[in-house]
Amino acid sequence: MTIYIDADACPVTRIAEDIARKHGIPVTLLCDTNHMLTSDYSTVKVIGAGADAVDIALINLCQRGDIVVTQDYGVAALALGKGARAIHQSGKWFTDDNIDGLLMDRHLAKKARRSGKHHLKGPAKRTEEDDKRFAESFERLIQEALLNDPLA
């Protein structure tokens, strides 16, 4: 099992690394050339800039049993399709049961933005409670993965 983090502007990278380190699970951070990252634990892969370059590289690397941390519903859907688990920076697990609805919501929001008739607010400022919620959810996801895929 490897944890892959779509690390471009990801606010939970260090939290995920700390939890992964506790379990001895390797982590790979993927970012583009606009977000140079360093880590004393994770492998950092810098992917050339370009639309979806990091997303494509992440999906090419991940395999069944891996965990993907991303806020991108499309990346999550592709990871699930490969048999990986996926989690949002909010702590919400992406699953086969919820991904279609999330993709539809994303499509409708994009359509509303294009129409110019709707102004959609961005996300609220991140809080310590958000970080705590992610950490607890990520820990549960890892525990489930280790329980159900002991060889992963």
- The residue count of the chain comes to 152
pLDDT digits 0-9 by tens, 16-28 = 999 999 999 999 9
Angstrom distances, CA of residue 69 to CA of 64, 93, 120, 146: 15, 10, 24, 17
> What pLDDT score does 98 carry?
82
Return the half-sphere exposure (C-beta side, CA atoms, 13 A cut-off) of residue 25.
27
State residue 142's pLDDT score.
97
Q: Is the pLDDT of residue 151 over 60?
A: no
Q: What is the pTM of this model?
A: 0.87
pLDDT band at 78 (very low <50, low <70, confident <90, very high): very high
Q: Which tokens belong to 20?
A: 């992964």
- Encoded amino acid at 16, one letter: A
pLDDT tens by residue, 105-148 = 766 677 766 777 666 666 678 899 999 999 999 999 999 999 88
- Domains, the chain, in order of start with CATH, read 3-147 (3.40.50)
- Interval 20-72: pLDDT, tens: 999 999 999 999 988 778 999 999 999 987 778 999 999 999 999 999 999 99
Cα–Cα distance between 31 and 8 in angstroms, integer? 5
Beta carbons within 8 Å of 31's beta carbon, 6+ residues apart? 7, 8, 37, 44, 45, 46, 47, 54
Q: Give SS3 for 77.
A: helix
